[in-house]
């Protein structure tokens, strides 16, 4: 019977996560950008203002693009 060592090295522990720290940071930035876009869309100006019709949808699309990049981004390993 072989017993597994309960202590896992940092290298093996970091490999348990699917994403790196940079991916999570980019994903949080994308959530903030999307929230800003929806906040712009919610403004108190008239319904046909530039901010609601043009700027807000572009900001939301930019936020989704950053989220897509956050999922696909693979940081380079400096150890190799």
Query: Residue holding tokens 């348990």?
Result: 16
Q: Which residues contact 41 (CB under 8 A, 6 or more apart)?
A: 52, 56, 57, 60
**pLDDT over 70 (residue 28):** yes
Condensed to tens digits (0 to 9), the pLDDT of residues 68-80 reads 999 999 888 766 4
The model's pTM is 0.73
Say what percent of the chain tops pLDDT 90.
55
């Amino acid at each position: 019977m072989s017993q597994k060592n309960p202590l896992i090295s940092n290298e093996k522990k970091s490999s348990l996560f699917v994403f790196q720290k940079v991916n999570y940071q980019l994903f949080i930035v994308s959530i903030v950008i999307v929230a800003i876009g929806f906040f712009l869309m919610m403004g108190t100006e008239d319904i046909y203002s530039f901010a609601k019709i043009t700027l807000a949808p572009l900001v939301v699309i930019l936020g989704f693009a950053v989220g897509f990049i956050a999922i696909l981004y693979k940081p380079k390993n400096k150890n190799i």
